């Protein structure tokens, strides 16, 4: 699969949190998130391993009870079933890979 850059097609999954799935295969899914300052992703966990990279902005990321002040260029890996949350300090762009593929993040499921 090849993904051509397209600046539209984001879906709001939480207030101030937009998602666009960029590409996916049989084992991984690459997603881009746009975060708006002052919002948050509440504490949650899921069966997917989640590896991420902050492209721009600033977030406070809590993984398994440990808090990280994240700046552009910082990266992380959240193990499966590990509780995590985000506070959005500045407008931010995040790129993350999920494994296995999150079926709820497949484009056809985001459009519903």
Side-chain half-sphere of 71: how many Cα atoms within 13 Å?
0
Q: What is the pLDDT of residue 95?
A: 98
Task: Mark the ranges of the chain whose per-residue pLDDT is less than 70.
Answer: 111-112
Q: What is the pLDDT of residue 111?
A: 65
pTM beyond 0.85: the answer is: yes
Name the β-bridge partners of 63. Answer: 66, 84
Q: What is the pLDDT of residue 13?
A: 93
Nearest-angstrom CA–CA distance, 90 and 57 = 5
Closest C-alpha to 31, from 112, 93, 85, 109: 93
Nearest-angstrom CA–CA distance, 15 and 100 = 25
Secondary structure letter of residue 51 according to DSSP: E
Secondary structure letter of residue 45 according to DSSP: -
Q: Domains in the chain, please, with CATH?
A: 12-110 (2.60.120.10)
Q: What is the pLDDT of residue 58?
A: 98
Q: What is the pLDDT of residues 17-31, one digit of tens each?
A: 999 999 999 999 999
Q: What is the pLDDT of residue 112?
A: 53
């Amino acid at each position: 699969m090849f993904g051509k850059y397209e600046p539209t097609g984001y879906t709001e999954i939480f207030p101030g949190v937009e998602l666009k799935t960029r590409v996916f295969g049989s084992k991984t899914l690459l997603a881009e998130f746009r975060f708006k300052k002052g919002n948050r992703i509440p504490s949650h966990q899921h069966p997917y391993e989640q590896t991420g990279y902050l492209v721009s902005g600033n977030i406070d990321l809590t993984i398994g009870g440990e808090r990280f002040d994240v700046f552009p260029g910082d990266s992380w890996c959240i193990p499966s079933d590990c509780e995590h949350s985000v506070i959005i300090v500045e407008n931010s762009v995040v790129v993350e890979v999920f494994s296995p593929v999150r079926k709820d993040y497949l484009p056809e499921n985001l459009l519903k």
